[in-house]
């Protein structure tokens, strides 16, 4: 790219095949399948497929950061996801392309970055707003897969044409739990006995509308579908999207027992860093709008949440994760009970992370690792885990209240960086389907291509030993505004483009023109540079430190490639 009005990064730095030392040979074999530099054969015609394809169970959590036992969190009880991880290849450093539900899900389901989907808010449908891009489930449907959607897979509403992209992507109309319409209802019991629309919301499920919760309904429906698909004769792609731990933090109240308050601590860096550019700060407006937080009368934008309430939020977030984990356990146990665990690839991920008080921030809406880093794991029967012998269980349900929940092996942990735009080509490779070709620049006219696993030929030779990923986030102004977290397209004036490598996270906030969808990469409003080795929490911004001027110059040039 060249000139003042330039398109943002669409390529990625060269990936090293390096991974954690001592990883098993099976991991190397799978990595070769997943990430090698390969030729891109032509896609198969409609309806063509090899015989004997595996099925795919694609599980998506909502707003789940890497607060899981399998990612080294000693507090969080996630035994069923940890069990899946112990039989999977686990990507330690996987990143969403934007820390917002709609843009992220549209991005990884189309394998296009937000600048290509032209979606930064929740108010447009890519097929009419950007290009008629083929989605992962649509591509599998074209190759004779039965494609099924349960819960929150695409973001609902305009983002997916009010149909979850049916009938393009799905064989039958997607299922949404009926109780999701009560998401923001006043069902949270306050100390005075009245009901509120709170952020922190442990509930008695029997007292809820329809006496259930959305994720319980989604699991029930997914289990029903698993029982049906065995007899179809076609491989299936079943996507199950859970709503938790997205706010409000509504979950069965018994999960609080897993997290005594005395065990919950504040974030290690609960204050706004002194060198954080104001444009980079997310003022967590949606958290402020909840009844219990509003009652705290916190000043905008930097007023801190009282420490005791911070602890309550963190406790409820972890409880919501454990609740969601039990639903994953029920689903995996049903997969096995239906005799499908030996011929079904299981993918588990999240749309983005969530800040729990780090940098004085809550929610997502930023380029920090806590907002963009996600869990990502692939279970491939016979490859990442041996096929179970007769009478052995692959995925027995683990009850965190009654079963012994100890540390489990983390599976085949991979260290280097990957992006969620890689999911589409990864799944195709594992299924033996032709991988969509790399997207040209621009690619608005190309229906089937991938922006995952792109090679950055403009990188310097020393950068080729690094693995780069790219994230971005829009802002309406240089200082926090009420709409800073979720600006409408017409209100975007600044875009933060961020590079994450093995050693650093680098961000530049530049002018953006929403009417032309162009960024002026030479008009830099602010910058950030964090070194992981000395500053893993990304608290000490070195962008304006003269000692790192050469590195800033190099990375700024890389953003412009």
List the Cα angle 115/118/120 in 5-degree steps.
90
User: Hey, is 45 helix, strand or coil?
Assistant: coil
Say what angle helices 423-431 and 25-35 make with each other, to 10 degrees: 110
Distances (CA, A) of 50 to 44, 53, 133, 145, 170: 10, 7, 24, 11, 20
User: Hey, is 283 helix, strand or coil?
Assistant: coil
Q: Which residue's structure tokens are 């009245």?
A: 194
> Quick one: pLDDT at residue 466?
62
155 is catalytic: yes
101 is catalytic: yes
CA distance 249 to 246: 7
Comparing CA positions, the residue from 118, 93, 87 lying closest to residue 103 is: 118
| Residue 78: both structure tokens together | 């996630």
Residues 42, 44, 49, 50, CA torsion sign: negative
CA distance 202 to 72: 26
Q: Count Cα atoms within 13 angstroms, Cβ side, for 465.
A: 3
Which of 53, 70, 101, 439 is an active site residue?
101
Q: Check: CB of residue 276 under 8 Å from CB of residue 359.
A: yes
Please state which architecture CATH assigns to domain 5-15+44-559.
3-Layer(aba) Sandwich (3.40)
Q: How many CB atoms lie within 10 A of CB 370?
A: 24
> Quick one: pLDDT at residue 52?
59
DSSP, residue by residue, 475-540 = ESSSS--TTSSS--GGG--EEEEEEE-SSEEEEEEEEEETTTTEEEEEEEEEEEEEETTT-TT---
| Residue 433: both structure tokens together | 């389907």
CA distance 174 to 163: 8
CA distance 364 to 474: 12
What distance separates the 2 farthest-apart alpha carbons in the chain? Answer: 66
Contacts 24+ apart (CB under 8 A), 479-483: 479/278, 479/279, 480/278, 480/281, 480/282, 480/283, 480/300, 480/301, 480/302, 481/283, 482/283, 482/285, 482/300, 483/285
CA distance 37 to 420: 17
Distances (CA, A) of 217 to 175, 315, 334, 553: 10, 24, 14, 52
> Quick one: pLDDT at residue 42?
41
DSSP, residue by residue, 357-371 = SGGG-EES-SSSHHH
Number of H helices, E strands in the chain: 13, 19
Say what angle helices 423-431 and 101-110 make with each other, to 10 degrees: 40
- Percent helix, strand, coil in the chain, to 5, is 30, 20, 50
Q: Which residue's structure tokens are 């029997």?
A: 206
CA distance 67 to 245: 11
- pLDDT tens track for 380-389: 999 998 777 7
Comparing CA positions, the residue from 237, 505, 253, 243 lying closest to residue 372 is: 505
Q: Which residue's structure tokens are 């146990």?
A: 333
> Quick one: pLDDT at residue 386?
79
- Cβ-count burial of 150 within 10 angstroms (0-12 exposed, 13-18 middle, 19+ buried)? buried
Comparing CA positions, the residue from 494, 497, 495, 512 lying closest to residue 558 is: 497
| Residue 338: both structure tokens together | 């239906």
* pLDDT per residue rounded down to tens, the chain (561 residues): 333 344 444 444 333 333 332 333 334 445 444 444 333 334 443 333 334 589 999 999 999 999 999 999 999 999 999 999 999 999 999 999 999 999 999 999 999 999 999 999 999 999 999 999 999 999 999 999 999 999 999 999 999 999 999 999 999 999 999 999 999 999 999 989 999 999 999 999 999 999 999 999 999 999 999 999 988 889 999 999 999 999 999 999 999 999 999 999 999 999 999 999 999 999 999 999 999 999 999 999 999 999 999 999 999 999 999 999 999 999 999 999 999 999 999 999 999 999 999 999 999 999 999 999 999 999 999 999 877 777 788 999 999 999 987 777 678 899 889 999 999 999 999 999 999 999 999 999 999 999 997 433 333 333 334 688 999 999 999 999 999 999 999 999 999 999 999 999 999 999 999 999 999 999 999 999 999 999 999 999 999 999 999 999 999 999 987
CA distance 271 to 360: 5
DSSP, residue by residue, 398-461 = --TTTS--------EEEEEEEEGGGHHHHHHHHHTPPPPPBP-SS-TT-SS-B-TT---TTS-G
Q: What are the phi and psi torsion angles at 212 (to 5°)?
A: -160, 180
Which of 53, 70, 155, 243 is an active site residue?
155
The backbone region for 133, taken as left when phi is positive above 0, alpha when psi lies in -120 to 50, beta otherwise, is beta
DSSP, residue by residue, 218-281 = HHHHHHHHHHHHTTSSS-EEEEEE--TTSSSEEEEGGGGGGS-GGG----SS-S--TT--GGG-
Comparing CA positions, the residue from 359, 261, 252 lying closest to residue 311 is: 261
List the Cα angle 127/129/373 in 5-degree steps.
80
């Amino acid at each position: 790219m060249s000139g003042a009005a330039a398109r943002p990064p669409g390529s990625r730095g060269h990936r090293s095949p390096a991974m954690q030392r001592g990883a098993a040979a099976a991991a190397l074999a799978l990595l070769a399948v997943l990430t090698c530099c390969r030729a891109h054969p032509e896609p198969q015609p409609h309806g063509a497929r090899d015989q004997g394809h595996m099925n795919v169970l694609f599980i998506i959590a909502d707003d789940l950061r890497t607060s899981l036992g399998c990612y080294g969190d000693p507090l969080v009880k996630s035994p069923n996801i940890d069990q899946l991880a112990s039989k999977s290849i686990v990507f330690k450093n996987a990143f969403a392309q934007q820390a917002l539900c709609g843009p992220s899900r549209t991005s990884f389901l189309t394998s296009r970055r937000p600048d290509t989907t032209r979606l930064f808010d929740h108010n447009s449908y890519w097929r009419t707003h950007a290009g008629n891009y083929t989605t992962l489930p649509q591509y599998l449907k074209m190759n004779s897969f039965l494609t099924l959607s349960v819960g929150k897979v695409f973001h609902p509403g305009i983002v997916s044409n009010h149909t979850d992209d049916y009938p393009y992507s799905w064989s039958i109309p997607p299922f949404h739990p009926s109780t999701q319409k009560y998401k923001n209802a006043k069902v949270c019991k306050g100390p005075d006995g009245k009901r509120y629309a709170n952020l922190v919301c442990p509930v008695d499920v029997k007292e809820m509308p329809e006496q259930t919760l959305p994720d319980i309904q989604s699991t029930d429906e997914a289990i029903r579908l698993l029982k049906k698909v065995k007899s179809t004769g076609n491989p299936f792609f079943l996507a199950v999207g859970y709503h938790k731990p997205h706010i409000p933090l509504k979950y069965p109240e018994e999960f609080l027992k897993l997290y005594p308050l005395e065990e919950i601590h504040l974030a290690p860096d609960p204050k706004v860093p002194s060198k954080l550019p104001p444009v980079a700060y997310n003022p967590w407006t949606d958290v402020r709008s909840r009844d219990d937080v509003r009652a705290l009368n916190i000043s905008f934008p930097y007023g801190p949440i009282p420490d005791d309430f911070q602890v309550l939020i963190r406790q409820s977030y972890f409880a919501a994760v454990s609740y969601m984990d039990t639903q994953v356990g029920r689903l995996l146990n049903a997969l096995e009970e239906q005799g499908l665990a030996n011929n079904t690839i299981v993918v588990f991920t999240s749309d983005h992370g969530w800040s729990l008080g780090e940098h004085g921030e809550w929610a997502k809406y930023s380029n920090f690792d806590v907002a963009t880093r996600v869990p990502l794991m692939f279970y491939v029967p016979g490859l990442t885990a041996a096929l179970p012998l007769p009478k052995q269980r692959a995925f027995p349900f683990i009850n965190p209240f009654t079963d012994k929940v100890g540390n489990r092996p983390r599976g085949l942990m991979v260290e280097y960086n990957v992006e969620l735009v890689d999911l589409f080509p990864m799944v195709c490779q594992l299924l033996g389907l032709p991988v969509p070709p790399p997207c040209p620049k621009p690619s608005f006219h190309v229906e089937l291509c991938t922006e995952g696993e792109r090679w950055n030929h403009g990188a310097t030779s020393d950068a080729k030993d690094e693995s780069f990923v790219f994230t971005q986030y829009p802002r309406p102004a240089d200082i926090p505004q009420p709409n800073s977290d979720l600006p409408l397209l017409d209100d975007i004036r600044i875009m933060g483009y961020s590079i994450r490598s093995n050693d650093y996270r680098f961000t530049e906030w530049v002018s953006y023109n929403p009417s032309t969808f162009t960024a002026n990469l030479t008009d830099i409003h602010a910058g950030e540079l964090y070194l992981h080795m000395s500053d893993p929490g990304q608290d000490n911004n070195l962008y304006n430190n003269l000692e790192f001027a050469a590195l800033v110059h190099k990375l700024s040039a890389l953003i412009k490639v």
